[in-house]
Every structure is written in C-alpha cells, then in structure tokens.
Amino acid sequence: MAGVCAAELGLALAERGLPPERRFEIPAAWRARRLSDQAYLWHGRLHRYNSLGFRGGEWGPKRAGVFRIAVLGDSITYGYGVGEEQAYPALIERALGARYRVEVLNLGYAGANSPDILYLADRFLPRLSPDLVLYGVCLNDYLPSMTPQYRRVGPWRWSEAAPARTRVGAILSAGLHGLLARLGLEQDFVHDALDASTRYAARFERDAADLNRAARARGAPPVVAMVVSQIPGRSDALELTRRTETILGRAGMTVVPAETYLERWAGRPPLTVSRWEGHPSAEAHAAFADAFVRAIEGTPAIARRLEPFLRR
C-alpha cells in the first residue's frame, strides 16, 4: 500500500464512482485531474498522499510530550471530496489541540474493509506507536477484503460504480435499478451483511476483536469506534448500525453511538459532498468529529491519559 498505489486507487474511485445517471453532468472544474503521482484534484479539493499511502503530508517520529491518535477507516475517514482540513481526523486534532498537545494521523484507505483495516493496524500501529486508536466504521466494512459496495438480483451482483458508456445507457441503467428496487428484486450489500448465512458478520466480529487486541497490545486503551454514515433514515442501514455497535462492544471497544449525530439529521436527505460525489460532506465530517471528541474527553480512562498533555 505505497503512496503511488493509494493515489492511483483514489483517482480511479473519483473517476468511476459517480452514479451512472450523473457521470456525464459534472462541471469541468470538479472533475478528477491528476497533479502528480501522489496528488490529484477532485471537486476542486486537493487529494494528496504521503509516502505511506495515507492522506496529507509526511509523518515524523513520535514526539515526546505529544499525544498521538491514529484513525483507521476507509474512504470516508480519508475524506473523499472534502479538503484535507475538513476530514474528521483533522477536525478532531483541531478541537482537541485547543486544550491538549495532540496529533491525529489519518489512516483512512480507499476501499478498505475490516480485513484490510486489521492489516493496516498490524502493519502500521507498531511503527506509529499511537496513544489512542479510533476506528471510523463504514457499513461496507462487513464485505470481504477490498470488495466494493454492490447491488444484486439473485446470485448476480455488480459494483455500484459499474460504468455506463453513454448518456442513454446511464439513464436506462438508473431506470432499471429503480424498477428492480420497487419490485423488491434488487438487494445490496446491507442486506447481505444482515443475512447470517453470508457469515459477513462473524468475520467482521473476529476482525474487530483482533483489531482491539492489536491496539491494547501496544499499550493503548480500548479502540474508540463509531459507525460513520452520511445517510440517515434508511431502516435496514439503521438496523445494521445497531448490530454493528453491539458487535464492537462485544469486541471490547469503546462504542460511540451513531445516534449521537443521526438523530439530528432525521428527515434530511443524505449529507453528501454533491450530487456527483456520494461521500460525506464537510457538515457530516464535523458531526463525526464532534461525536468522537465528546467520547474521548468523556471516557475517564482516556481523559486520565490525556491530562499530562494539557496545554499550560
């Protein structure tokens, strides 16, 4: 997972991840544009990678007197479509940094599901030596390694970002998906994550427990985990969110209820960057950051560890 590979993957997601019916409409200024092997523009925002393959500049050695937080997650944690400074790991650093000497490392990686999150933890936590680990859980983390979100009819499934070659093809594709959904024939990855026969949940629970053990083995407190979602109101996704929180709790993690922010969004449309970019908006990232910060400062075991790093 070198920086160049991460940048290539990110650029591909930006170019192919549009809903088919929107792919031909995006303003030219917001289209993906390569700047270098480790940076590109998307929605007019700089998306850059360091040499380890993660968002932002290079990370130096851990500094004495600074509380280091590592944030694990997928493209939501990375912050696709928003500025580097608007992604919730950066907002957590800004909020906590007003009172404490802290640094927050964004280990969000595009396409990562729970096996990939565990791999990143095993590879990078020993090197980075964080004092605390956060995990921004996306509901597609239940899927096998690097498997994209998908829809399916019966046993046949396809990526939600499957390309449409023409404008007419895109319109027909959107109409077909809408019809199949209304008839109850089309399912997606959320349905499969809730289905015990797929054993997605069993693997996710093992990965969560192993991730928490990996953090604890480095001397950190239990992982602080929260489901991060920009889509309020969908009943099956809310059910999966609650099940996920139960699993994370059984894994020994400190769980931040997603209702912390979802209740405020009741009745609203999805909080996405734009009609062409379905990842969370800056407003959604601010809500994620606020919930994490409240949990960090409100958990006695973590607050005690933070106290020596208070700014005097």
pLDDT band (50, 70, 90) for residue 227: very high
pLDDT band (50, 70, 90) for residue 16: low
pLDDT in tens, 73-109: 999 999 999 999 999 999 999 999 999 999 999 999 9
Q: How many CB atoms lie within 10 A of CB 205?
A: 18
Range list of β-strands (E), the chain: 33-36, 39-42, 45-48, 67-73, 102-108, 132-137, 150-153, 156-159, 186-188, 224-227, 254-255, 272-274, 277-280
- Whole-number pLDDT of residue 25: 79
Helices (H), 107-199: 114-128, 167-182, 189-194
Domain boundaries, the chain: 63-309
- The dihedrals phi and psi of 163, each to the nearest 5 degrees, come to -70, 145
The residue-averaged pLDDT of 260-284 equals 93
Q: Which fold has domain 63-309?
A: Rossmann fold (3.40.50)
The answer to whether the beta carbons of residues 95 and 64 sit under 8 Å apart is no
The answer to whether the beta carbons of residues 80 and 276 sit under 8 Å apart is no
The residue-averaged pLDDT of 47-64 equals 94
Model confidence at 256: pLDDT above 90:
yes
- Between residues 130 and 233, the one the model is more confident about: 130
pTM of the model: 0.89
Model confidence at 2: pLDDT above 70:
no
Lowest mean pLDDT among 72-76, 101-105, 165-169, 292-296: 165-169
